[in-house]
A and B are shown apart, each in its own frame.
Chain A
Amino acid sequence: MTTPDHHDDGAPPPAGDPAFDPAETLRIIEESQQRARKGIEVDGRLLYLVWGLAWGIGYLVLWTSARDQGGPPTGPAFPIFGTLLIAAIVITIVHSVRRGSGTRGPSRRAGAMYGWSWMLGFLAYPFIIAGIARAGASEEVIALVANALACVVVGLMYLAGGTFFPDNRLFVLGLWILLTGGVATVAGMPGTYLVMAIAGGGGFLVMCGIEAVLTARRRRTAACEPGARDVVGQEPVDG
Chain B
Amino acid sequence: MDELDTVIHAPARLRVVSTLAALAPAEEIAFPKLQQLLEMTAGNLSTHLRKLEDAGYVRVSKTHTGRKPVTYLALTRAGRRAFEDYTATLTALLKGAGT
Taking Cβ atoms with an 8 Å cutoff, the residues of A that contact B are: 1-3, 5, 7-10, 12-13, 15, 22-23, 25-26, 28-29, 32-33, 35-37, 39-40, 101-108, 226-227, 237-239
Chain A residue at smallest Cβ distance from B96: A22
Instruction: For A40, give its contact among B1, B22, B26, B47 (CB under 8 Å).
Output: B22
Minimum Cβ distance to chain B for residue A177 (Å):
27
CB-defined contacts of B98 to chain A, threshold 8 Å:
226-227
Contact A39 B37 (CB under 8 A): yes
CB closest chain-A residue, reference B83: A29
* Residue from B4, B32, B38, B95 having most chain A Cβ neighbours under 10 A: B4
B interface residues, how many (CB within 8 angstroms): 48
Contact between chains at B87 and A226 (CB < 8 Å):
no
B51 contact set on A, CB distance < 8 A? 8
**Considering the chains assembled together, what is the distance between the CA atoms of A7 and B12 in angstroms?**
10
Q: Which of B1-18 contact A (CB under 8 A)?
A: 1, 3-4, 6, 9-15, 18
B35 to chain A minimum Cβ distance, whole angstroms, is 10
19 A–B contacts from the bound complex (CB under 8 Å): A7-B41, A7-B43, A8-B10, A8-B48, A12-B9, A15-B4, A22-B90, A25-B14, A25-B90, A28-B18, A32-B19, A36-B37, A39-B33, A101-B33, A102-B32, A103-B28, A103-B30, A105-B28, A106-B27
Q: Which A residues lie within 8 Å of B10 (CB)?
A: 8-10, 12
Provide the residues of chain B in CB contact with A237, threshold 8 Å.
Answer: 11
**A-B residue pair count with CB separations less than 8 angstroms:** 119
CB pair B47–A105 under 8 Å, yes or no, is no
Q: Does B21 have its Cβ within 8 Å of any Cβ on chain A?
A: yes
Interface hits, B45-80 → A, CB 8 Å: 46-48, 50-51, 72, 74
Q: Contacts A29-B18, A103-B28, A237-B11 given; indicate if A227 touches B23 (C-beta within 8 A).
A: no
* Contact B11 A15, beta carbon cutoff 8 Å: no
Q: State the CA gap A82–B24 with chains docked (Å).
A: 37
Interface contact B27-A102, CB-CB below 8 Å = no
B23 touches which one: A7, A15, A40 (CB < 8 A)? A40
Minimum C-beta distance from A207 to chain B (A): 23
Given A9-B12, A22-B93, A40-B23, do A32 and B18 touch, yes or no (CB 8 Å)? yes
**Residue from the set B38, B41, B90 with the largest chain A CB neighbour count within 10 Å:** B90
B74 CB to nearest A CB, Å: 8
> With a CB–CB cut-off of 8 A, which chain A residues contact B94?
22-23, 26, 226-227
**In the complex, how many angstroms separate the beta carbon of A142 from the nearest chain B beta carbon?**
44
Those 5 A-B pairs whose CB atoms lie nearest each other, nearest first: A102-B33, A105-B27, A3-B43, A32-B18, A36-B22
Pick the residue among B22, B34, B72 that contacts A104 (CB under 8 A).
B72
Q: Give bound CA distance, A3 to B48, whole Å.
A: 10
A235 smallest CB distance to B (angstroms): 14
